[in-house]
Amino acid sequence: MNNIKNYINGKFERPIKNEWIENYDPSNGEVYGQIPNSSKEDVENAYKAAKSAFNNWSNTTLDERSRVLIKISELLEENLDRFAKAESMDNGKPISLAKTVDIPRAASNFRFFGNAITQFSSESHESVGQNAVNYTLRQPIGVVGCISPWNLPLYLFTWKIAPALATGNCVVAKPSEVTPMTAYLLGEICNEAGLPKGVLNIVHGLGTSTGQAIVEHPDIKAISFTGGTATGAHIAKVAAPMFKKLSLELGGKNPNIIFADCEYEDMLETTVRSSFANQGQICLCGSRIFVEATIYEQFKTDFVKKVKNLKVGHPSDTKTNIGALVSKPHLEKVKEYIQIARDENGIILCGGKEVIVEGYENGYYLEPTVIEVHDDECRVNQEEIFGPVVTIMPFKTEDDVLKMANKVKYGLSATLWTNNLKRTMRMSNKLQAGIVWVNTWMMRDLRTPFGGVKASGVGREGGFEALRFFTEPKNVCIKY
Ligand code: NAD
């Protein structure tokens, strides 16, 4: 059994009430460990540890903070194989993806913010003619809460923790109860890197109890949350009357808009990836594909052919393109949407069925599924499915596709395939999204703002945006 523990004050602790949750291996549907179902009391202990570490950590020099964060990054790289294996087993994602994306990007998060903090500066304003100068301090908030989802477990967990620590805060963090393993292993790395005890505390448990206790804690002054839109709305309701700073990265239903003048082969290959990477469980996946009518039939044939070639298999098999979905309930949810598509007269062009992988018959495998829809307002085109399912439909004009792209409640990212510069600029201006990719997908520069509009969230992560979120500006005005 792989039992994991909370990481509080630099030590690994059992939950006070000794309550545990079962942890499933999605590749075979078996329980392979237990995780603490932490109570309010565990969260309180984590908070106390963070609070007592704050004075020292917030006064640690930038050089020293930077050194520790970069050391964590290096240790993650040294432990790449171990972390990738754990991530793949916990989540069901192909080991190749965990090795090339999840763990390297988690290491990059620490390296990036370890460097960024040495370049972060505040402003000063000289009030000319009034004999005064203003300077603005950027002070850490104190103890902050970081709550993350299951799809990119360590990657998104560290995307919050690294900037929070870099700016001198102490953290109470909770990974998803569905994928807790790499967050647990991170504690060991932090100790080895010399992160002082109590600076980062990791509590495990259910969202509705452990997560809720973090959000409700009166002295945890900021919450950085990534997860579903309904959970984000609930967290906002709890945190707003307590005047907490809030960063919410929520769901998406991203359009992938393909014009006839694009570089066809590049588009085709990237579209397979942007549809099905991580079993389609990436908030940035382009789940609504709109194709210019003149190339629609050709695209449909070529795309379906490529998708049929994707290999669904055990996550540890290096030839696997599509691993297991993260959990049984999630698999059932995605299957329900495929049924909804059928009921709405969608045409299943390929996929739609569960896959039995030999030797792992109880795993949560599903064929990559392409659905042709005729109405952009049908449910499968409006609601987030978050699985290996995309819809395709043709469009005639730029105006038509823009209207359809924007006619959802979400606004996280959009992808545009065209070689027409003026159209690129027109459409990028008008697309309702926090991120627009043109002729590429999921290309990341960590300095850029990351986040969504509408029901996809509030605030931005990334670069100095994250460092600003985790600090309080205080203006000092001096008259001379
Ligand atoms: P979720 O909302 O169910 O859970 C996310 C986290 O919140 C988990 O750690 C969970 O335990 C916790 N939680 C649940 N209820 C809580 C509560 N009442 N108080 C405090 N914490 C609570 O989401 P999920 O199913 O883990 O993740 C999938 C969702 O995340 C999708 O909607 C996806 O689009 C979204 N997502 C968004 C981004 C982004 O950057 N915008 C990135 C990845 C995933």
pLDDT digits (tens, 9 = 90+) for 174-210: 999 999 999 999 999 999 999 999 999 999 999 999 9
Domains in the chain: ranges and CATH: 2-250+456-479 (3.40.605.10), 255-446 (3.40.309.10)
Which pLDDT band holds residue 246 (cuts at 50, 70, 90)?
A: very high
Query: Residues near 289 by Cβ (< 8 Å), separated by ≥ 6?
Result: 255, 256, 258, 271, 275, 303, 390, 391, 392, 393
Selection from 22, 45, 4, 36 nearest residue 204 by Cα: 36
Q: Whose CA is nearest to atom 22 of ligand 1?
A: 207
- For residues 221-250, average pLDDT: 98
- For residues 85-108, average pLDDT: 98
Better pLDDT: 1 or 130 = 130
Q: Model pTM?
A: 0.98
Looking at ligand 1, which atom is closest to the CA of residue 174? Answer: 9
**Given ligand 1 and candidates 21, 90, 151, which is best to mutate, with the most ligand atoms within 8 Å of its CB?**
151
- For residues 127-142, average pLDDT: 98
Residue of 249, 292, 367, 461 marked active site: 249
- Whether the per-residue pLDDT at 1 is higher than 90: the answer is no
Q: For ligand 1, which residues put their CB under 6 angstroms from it? A: 147-151, 156, 174, 176-177, 207-208, 211-212, 215, 226-228, 231, 234-235, 249-252, 283, 384, 386, 412, 452, 456-457
User: 10 — phi, psi (to 5°)?
Assistant: 80, 0
Task: Decide if 465 is catalytic.
Answer: no
- For residues 414-433, average pLDDT: 98
- Plot region of 464 (φ>0 → left; ψ -120 to 50 → alpha; else → beta): alpha
- For residues 50-74, average pLDDT: 98
Q: Are strands 347-350 and 369-372 parallel, antiparallel or unpaired?
A: antiparallel
- What's the confidence (pLDDT) of residue 2? 76
- Plot region of 346 (φ>0 → left; ψ -120 to 50 → alpha; else → beta): beta
**Given ligand 1 and candidates 43, 105, 147, which is best to mutate, with the most ligand atoms within 8 Å of its CB?**
147
- What's the confidence (pLDDT) of residue 183? 98
Tell how far the Cα of 15 is from the centroid of ligand 1, in angstroms. 22
- pLDDT cut 90: percent of the chain above it: 99
In tens, the pLDDT along 2-14 reads 789 999 999 999 9
Spatial contact of 174 and 147, defined as CB atoms under 8 Å apart: yes
Tell how far the Cα of 372 is from the centroid of ligand 1, in angstroms. 29
Q: Are strands 255-258 and 245-249 parallel, antiparallel or unpaired?
A: unpaired
- Whether the per-residue pLDDT at 459 is higher than 90: the answer is yes
Q: What are the tokens at 381?
A: 């085109």
- Whether the per-residue pLDDT at 252 is higher than 90: the answer is yes
- For residues 419-440, average pLDDT: 98
CA dist., res. 110 & res. 446, Å (int): 11
Tell how far the Cα of 214 is from the centroid of ligand 1, in angstroms. 14
- For residues 230-249, average pLDDT: 98
* H-type alpha helices, 117-239: 153-166, 181-193, 212-216, 229-239
CA dist., res. 51 & res. 28, Å (int): 41
- Whether the per-residue pLDDT at 50 is higher than 90: the answer is yes
Burial of 121 (0-12, 13-18, 19+ CB in 10 A): exposed
Looking at ligand 1, which atom is closest to the CA of residue 212? Answer: 19
Q: Whose CA is nearest to atom 9 of ligand 1?
A: 176
Sign of the torsion angle spanned by Cα atoms 290, 295, 297, 301: negative
- For residues 264-278, average pLDDT: 98
Q: Which residues of 188-222 are buried (b: 16+ CB within 10 A; e: fewer)?
A: ebbbebebbbbbbbbbbbbbebbbbbbbebeebbb
Looking at ligand 1, which atom is closest to the CA of residue 456? Answer: 41
ipTM over 0.90: yes
In tens, the pLDDT along 393-406 reads 999 999 999 999 99
